[in-house]
Amino acid sequence: MTHSASTAQALDRYIDRALEYQLEHAGRLPLTPFDENWYSACYVDDAAAGEPTQWRPVRQSSPSDLFERIGQALELPIHPDIITYYSRYWSDPLPAHHQCGRLSLLQLWNPEDGERLRSNLLGHALMKARSKQPLTLFFACTEPDDMFISLDNSDGTIWLEAPGKKPLRKIADNLAAFIDGLQPDTIQDQE
């Protein structure tokens, strides 16, 4: 099995565990204000603008060229695990616990959110290049200390990083192993 296939399966397992945990501990799906101008397939029901509505992670159904464009801009191929990670679900960030602490798994809410991510990843990559550091691609933020979890683009290993610094320490051999080591947390309602 390829790493990207195992990443997809690990993410599927985590989403299932996270939703089960949410329903068990909160008794319902999380709420977020309905925004027709920032629409997402995650909405369970349509609502009036600004009214709370339930949401859940939803599998993406259409392929995107987001990471192809990122790779072209950087003039190098992007590791397939990070492509799989960001291309698997539409979702708001998902809270989790890991041996390195509490964290938030970054996700894409809709295709427009992918464009925001593209800008942020390219900015991060340029900073890494200026600092002569290996390219890493972030996918989670630790809380409350604002560190981030990233994938080393050359070999797919997972690292804890501080903004602007070299990776601090390796925390997993690959993205699937990292995701499988997570414990879900309750998804808080958004106001």
What are the pLDDT digits (tens) for 43-91?
998 888 889 999 999 999 988 899 999 999 999 999 999 999 999 999 9
Q: Compare 46 and 154 and report the one with higher pLDDT.
A: 154
- Average pLDDT taken over every residue of the chain: 93
Percent of the chain with pLDDT over 70: 98
Strand ranges, E, within 55-188: 58-59, 89-90, 94-98, 101-105, 136-143, 148-152, 158-161, 169-172, 183-184
pLDDT beyond 60 at 100: yes
At residue 143, the pLDDT reads 86
CA pair distance 71, 169, nearest whole angstrom: 25
Q: Output the CA–CA distances (angstroms, integers) from residue 56 to 23, 59, 93, 109, in the order listed.
A: 11, 10, 11, 10
Cβ neighbours for 160, distance < 8 A, ≥ 6 positions apart: 100, 142, 147, 148, 149, 167, 168, 169, 171
Q: Which domains does the chain have, with CATH numbers?
A: 3-28+58-184 (3.40.1580.20)
List % helix, strand, coil for the chain (3-state, nearest 5): 35, 25, 40
Q: What is the pLDDT of residues 105-144, one digit of tens each?
A: 999 999 999 999 999 999 999 999 999 999 999 999 998 8
